[in-house]
Structure 1
Amino acid sequence: MTSEALHALASHIAATLGSRLEAFSELPAGRTRRALRIDTGDGPLFVKLLPVDRAAVFAAEADGLTLLTQTDTFRIPAIRSQGSHDTYAWLALEWLDLKPVRDADDGRRFGDVLAALHAVHGPHYGLNRDNWLGDSRQENGSSESWPLFFARKRLLPQLAAAVEGGLRGSLVSNIQGIVERIAALFLDYRPAASLLHGDLWHGNAGVDAGGRPTVFDPAVHYGDREADFALAEMFGGFPTTMYATYLQGAPLHPSASSRRALYRLYHLLNHYNLYGMSYLRETERTAARLLSELT
């Protein structure tokens, strides 16, 4: 998109809010998304862009942000506008000046708020609409069985995408074996249907100028809170006080460590499908180790 076209788009977005464009700049792009800072007469916006045929991604993201906002736990960037213009769809959010969750006090606050989010429960596992985990469509629907939901709506769709992309061999059969035996990980544990962020790594978290923990880019659904915690541990980046504070306020089930690899496997498969061979070995090791424990 040329600078003239970006200017026209920025002006159009400002106009949808009844405001005027004062300035705009393009921000570092994501894997498939472009982003702008748009300064209007009513304040700055953070604007995400996708090709217009992917507008459903932003509709799902907006729904997820709204659901998180309703919990009054994390600071969630407010949705200012969404729509499409020419070849681009956009999602315009309030601009937040954020810093990473790094120091001990930030970690403690984040852990407390994460526990409060997970204390919000739904009537069933899943969600009333599909959404996206990064650039991967995430199937939802509703289920009364969390192991069945996780097998059918998480592992199997990612495995199908990998096989369609050419994956063969032991990883395929190992994941199939895990799916067949997944109930064994839940013999003494029936998790509450907690509201999950769904993509909780340190890159989707921050602290606002007032010190309030913030999250964004959600893949929300109701499920086992251990899944959020396992992903937060997997990629690190949070201070140790975050994990300690969370566990003090909301201890995990004694058998939680037996399910950590299961939840990491879903994200490893997703990364393999999105980013390729650099994630294959770790995915293979995780699946093989988990299946060995199950058999």
Structure 2
Amino acid sequence: MHSGLRLDLVAADGPLAGTKITDVSSVGGGCIHQAWQLRLSDGRQLFAKTGTADAFDLFEVEADALTALGQYSDSDVLVVPQPLSLVQLPHGAVLLLPWLPLGGGDQQFLGRGLALLHQASREQNPQRFGWHRDGYIGAGAQPGGWRMRWGDAFADLRLRPQLKLCNRLGMSPAEEEAFLNGVADRLNQREVIPTLVHGDLWGGNASSLMDGRGTVYDPASWWADAEVDLAMTRLFGGFQQHFYRSYDAVLPPKPGVEERLEIYNLYHLLNHANLFGGGYINQSRACLQGLARQMMS
């Protein structure tokens, strides 16, 4: 951690005023920003995410989503770390969160906790799909906005912006528009209750604690179909059968889920193609073409 930023944190007007940082350890896993474990003179341990001044907006979006998820999580089974401080300091932006002791192996509580979060949020849903502000999916832009129908929301707010950025997939504008209309029509045929989702639920953004409870972090939340979270857990692996069995015991899967998972994961493939290029472009192209053929059948 930059020495100037460390001094900013404990300054008289800093978020850790009145205490001292006795130890700072780098925490691996961050793709965009730096992460640290802080040990304080009062015995506390904190997680700090730091970045340059322009990272403040990303941290603000993350803090907003963590707060929203925390409103619906049952902390007996799923811990969503709640923001302690979000500050713009002279030497950079900082988001402070509780330190979570990771290390539990069984994902039973993680699956049950996610299902209970989804279930609880449905009971107070906003009767529409989307999010109240522009956000991020990793380092990529994730537009805000609202739609009354689920298919329109997913096509307009998620797939369309990504397809607009990625022009190397071999489809003409007319073909892309026909595909988006097909996706919207297919998803609009379902009765979907708006559900608060994590939105970026790959294995690096979920874990189990030493006491067995699950935890999720680094969200890209919005009100969507709960299945978008389950879809991403399948994209890169890292989730056990215990996770799925525990989730399904609370919210059993609905017919046609496998087909929808492929549609939902196209969003993440396109985002990765736009951010990283490489093999993700070919994966996106293959997924897009396969789904387009399904829409025509």
| Both structures adopt the same fold (TM-score exceeding 0.5) | yes
Aligned to 1:220: 221
What is the alpha-carbon distance in structure 1 between the residues aligned to residue 116 and residue 64 of structure 2? 20
What is the alpha-carbon distance in structure 1 between the residues aligned to residue 140 and residue 219 of structure 2? 13
Aligned to 1:265: 266
1:5 aligns with 2:16: no
Judge which range, 283-292 or 31-40, deviates more.
31-40
Give the partner amino acid of 2:177. Answer: Q
Contiguous gaps of at least 5 residues in structure 2: none
Aligned to 2:153: 149
What is the alpha-carbon distance in structure 2 between the residues aligned to residue 229 and residue 21 of structure 1? 39
* Pair 1:174–1:20, CA change in 2 (3 A): farther
Displacement after TM superposition at 1:183 (Å): 3.1
Matched residue SS, 2:211:
coil
Give the partner amino acid of 2:138. Answer: G
Aligned to 2:68: 67
Displacement after TM superposition at 1:175 (Å): 4.1
What is the alpha-carbon distance in structure 2 between the residues aligned to residue 258 and residue 172 of structure 1? 24
TM-score normalised per structure 2 = 0.89
Give the partner amino acid of 2:20. Answer: R
> Aligned-residue CA RMSD in angstroms?
2.2
Which of 138, 141, 160 is equivalent to 1:134? 138
Aligned to 2:20: 20
Aligned to 1:233: 234
Give the partner amino acid of 2:160. Answer: L
What is the alpha-carbon distance in structure 2 between the residues aligned to residue 249 and residue 80 of structure 1? 31
Is the CA contact (8 Å cut-off) linking 2:25 and 2:36 kept in structure 1? yes
* Pair 1:172–1:256, CA change in 2 (3 A): farther
Is the CA contact (8 Å cut-off) linking 1:60 and 1:132 kept in structure 2? yes
Is the CA contact (8 Å cut-off) linking 1:112 and 1:246 kept in structure 2? yes
Contiguous gaps of at least 5 residues in structure 1: none
Task: Give the number of equivalent residue pairs.
Answer: 287
* Pair 1:29–1:249, CA change in 2 (3 A): closer
Aligned to 2:113: 113
Give the partner amino acid of 1:176. Answer: E
* Pair 1:97–1:4, CA change in 2 (3 A): same
Is the CA contact (8 Å cut-off) linking 2:206 and 2:214 kept in structure 1? yes
Displacement after TM superposition at 1:276 (Å): 1.2
Give the partner amino acid of 1:231. Answer: M
Is the CA contact (8 Å cut-off) linking 2:8 and 2:14 kept in structure 1? no
What is the alpha-carbon distance in structure 2 between the residues aligned to residue 171 and residue 273 of structure 1? 18
Is the CA contact (8 Å cut-off) linking 1:14 and 1:20 kept in structure 2? no
Displacement after TM superposition at 1:6 (Å): 4.7
Judge which range, 58-67 or 34-43, deviates more.
34-43
Displacement after TM superposition at 1:253 (Å): 2.0
TM-score normalised per structure 1 = 0.89
Aligned to 2:100: 96
What is the alpha-carbon distance in structure 2 between the residues aligned to residue 191 and residue 168 of structure 1? 30
Matched residue SS, 2:84:
strand
Judge which range, 220-229 or 179-188, deviates more.
179-188
1:279 aligns with 2:283: no
